Amino acid sequence: MRRVELTSIEGVRWVPDAETGSGVLTIAGSSGRIDDARAHVFARHGVLAESVRWFGGAGQHPALWEIPLETFLRRIENLRRDCDRVWMVGSSFGSEAALLCGALCPQISGVVAFAPSDVVWAGNDGGRETSHWSLGGEPVPFVPIDRQAREVATASRFRPIYERSRRTFTDRVEAATIPVERIAEVILVAGADDRVWPSIASTERVSQRRTRHGRETTVVTSHDAGHRSILPGEPAITVGVAMDRGGTESADRELGARAWEVISMALELTARSADTPSN
């Protein structure tokens, strides 16, 4: 297996020794970092896997606001040149981007969304509230953040902020809702003890919307897991914004193991063990 540094953007591509024909672009959450470890897990099972830094890098916005979705769509286009099918895998804020791109680009075979959101949320460029994402240079419709909720919430537990903001700005929800029914396949993974935002409620809304449009959705949830699932062979992640993510490492790993079973089936991955030493 080879690790290749990307040149057109800060990122990495893991090239497996024996490819399955599947490709994956994996997107981290609020850190915007290169999700090297998760890409490596996929590559160990025969997937051509990439991950990129999507904010905070050279020529990028310093924080999460109006990030061009083209950042990801260009990588999907590159992966499609070398793969029969390409999936996007996103976590938390990255799930917004993954689901949006899946809805925009029919060439994306499917999306795996960890701790997903069914709507686009607001970012802030240092004083102006705007969308997390842009497309064609224009901000994607979003749900604003209730400032009063931010003031009364605890510093490390953000779920009440999102719950109250959704109630406050009900009139903005419809326009900001991601058209997930356009995505061919969707796998949703969420923990009920997620204290960052209401990912279980979002999971239910995504699934219900797809059902209304005749689409099936695979849902993997856990009562005890929190915001971050841990896939087999993946280290526990400690970087990112300091917050109470809920769950426990054991519960997060158990959810990740069950999620990996359905991901492996959907992507038709090889049966190689995640514990097999890599080259």
DSSP states along 125-158: SSS-EEESEEETTEEPP-BPP-HHHHHHS-SS--
pLDDT in tens, 257-277: 999 999 999 998 854 434 443
pLDDT in tens, 187-201: 999 999 999 999 999
| Residue linked to tokens 């890599």 | 278
Residue 189's DSSP bridge partners are: 114, 220
Helices 93-104 and 70-80, axial angle in degrees (round to 10): 60
For the chain, give every domain's residue range: 2-118+179-236+246-267
Listed in sequence order, the DSSP H helices in the chain are 36-43, 70-80, 93-104, 147-152, 159-168, 170-176, 199-212, 249-267
* Stated pTM of the model: 0.93
Determine the CATH number of domain 2-118+179-236+246-267.
Answer: 3.40.50.1820
Low-confidence ranges of the chain (pLDDT < 70): 150-156, 238-242, 270-279
Please, what's the b/e burial string for 153-180 (b: 16 or more CB within 10 A of its CB; e: otherwise)? Answer: beeeebbbbbbbbbebbeebbeebbbeb
What is the rounded distance in angstroms from the CA atom of residue 6 to the CA atom of residue 12? Answer: 5
Give the distance from CA 126 to its chain's centroid. 24
Of 233, 238, 221, the residue nearest 272 (C-alpha): 233
